[in-house]
Amino acid sequence: MKKGFTLVELIFVIVILGVLASIAVPRLVANKEDAQITKAKVEVAALRSAIMLMKNQNLLQGTVGYPDLSSKEITAIANVSKNWTKSENTFTLNLDGKTVTFTYKKDDGSFKCDDTNELCKKIESEL
């Protein structure tokens, strides 16, 4: 008597593996995007915290108002990834070819993005 699997059993196993792969692969891709969005949320929160930290440091030195973001100090404090580029009072985030620009307004300390941008909506949700 031969020991081994029949052709039908092998095909059955291959079909099951194919079904499992077709379910798992799209979820893995979605998990990667979810992780990138979560990381972006953390970095936005870090930038906002850095703005408040700099404002409080200025208050301790007798300067009233929100800080300028002209120095590289803000990105060093926030420790953001290389996906961010800074220009004047704007920070642009690039995630897999999609970009979103956050604008800092010194008069009220706001750090927001254009809410018509789909990536902005994902980042700003629950933040």
Check: CB of residue 91 under 8 Å from CB of residue 99. no
Q: How far apart are CA 124 and CA 13, in angstroms?
A: 44
Residue 117, CA atoms < 13 Å, CB-side half-sphere: 15
Which pair of structure tokens corresponds to residue 94?
A: 């690039």
Which pLDDT score, from 0 to 100, does residue 16 have? Answer: 94
List, in sequence order, the alpha helices (H) in the chain.
7-60, 73-78, 118-124
Q: What is the mean pLDDT of residues 109-116?
A: 88
pLDDT band for 3, please (50, 70, 90 cuts).
confident
Is the pTM value of this prediction over 0.75? no
Which pLDDT score, from 0 to 100, does residue 38 have? Answer: 92
Which pLDDT score, from 0 to 100, does residue 13 have? Answer: 93
Which pLDDT score, from 0 to 100, does residue 1 have? Answer: 64
- pLDDT tens sequence across 18-69: 998 888 888 777 788 888 899 999 999 988 988 898 899 889 999 888 888 7
79 has pLDDT over 80: no
